[in-house]
A = this chain, B = another copy of it.
Amino acid sequence: MNQQAATSSDAAFLSAFHHVATIGATDNSGVDRQALTPEDKQTRDWMREWAVAHGFEVRVDAIGNMFACLQLVPDDAAGQNDETLAEATSPATTDTTPTGTTPTGTNPAKATPTDTAPYVLIGSHLDSQPLGGRFDGAYGVIAGLFAALRVKEQFAESGLQPTFNLAVVNWFNEEGGRFAPSIMGSSVYAGLFDLDEMLAVTDLDGTSVSEALTAIGYAGTDTPPEAISYAEIHIEQGRILEREATDIGVVEASWYTQKLDIDVLGEQSHTGATAMADRHDALVAAAKVVLAVAEVVDEFEEEALVSSVGQHVVEPNSPIVVPRRVHMVADLRSSDPTIVQAARDSLKKQIAEIARAHDITINVEDFDIRDKRRFPTEGVELAEKAVANEGLSIRRLETMAGHDSVAMNHRVPAVMMFVPSVDGVSHCEREFTTDDDMLRGVRVLASVAGELVHGELAEVCDGAVWVGSSVAEVRA
Contacts and interface: CB of A to CB of B under 8 A. Distances in A.
Contact of A176 (B313, B318, B400): B318
Interface stretch (A62-70, A141-149, A275-283, A457-465): A275-283
B306 A312 contact: no
Given A311-B318, A323-B310, A272 B255 contact: yes
A133 B297 CA distance: 42
Interface string A299-335: 0001100111111111111111111100001010100
Contacts of A322: 308, 310, 427
A331 B271 contact: yes
B400 A273 contact: yes
A319 B313 CA distance: 11
Contacts of A272: 255, 257, 306, 331, 333, 400-402
B270 A237 contact: yes
Given A177-B321, A275-B424, A427-B321, A314 B316 contact: no
Contacts of A283: 290, 309-310, 312
B319 A176 contact: yes
Contacts of A239: 275, 278
A369 interface: no
Contact of A401 (B273, B316, B323, B427): B273
A316 B181 CA distance: 16
A267 interface: yes
A269 B425 contact: yes
A130 B402 CA distance: 38
Interface string A241-253: 0000000000000
A310 B318 contact: yes
Contact of A319 (B131, B180, B267, B268): B180
A239 B259 CA distance: 42
A267 B317 contact: no
A18 interface: no
A426 B307 CA distance: 37
A368 to B, nearest CB: 8
A129 interface: yes
Contact of A267 (B237, B323, B428): B428
A275 B320 contact: no
B427 A319 contact: no
A238 interface: yes
Given A276-B297, A294-B284, A316-B177, A271 B323 contact: no
A161 to B, nearest CB: 40
A291 B313 CA distance: 17
B312 A428 contact: no
Interface string A388-417: 000000000001111000000000000000
A288 interface: yes
Contacts of A259: 319
B281 A427 contact: no
A83 to B, nearest CB: 41
Contact of A426 (B204, B274, B279, B290): B274
A36 to B, nearest CB: 15
Closest 10 CB pairs of A and B: A237-B273, A177-B318, A130-B316, A270-B427, A287-B287, A287-B290, A273-B401, A268-B428, A272-B401, A271-B308
11 contacts: A129-B316, A129-B320, A237-B270, A267-B428, A268-B429, A270-B428, A271-B308, A272-B400, A273-B399, A273-B427, A277-B302
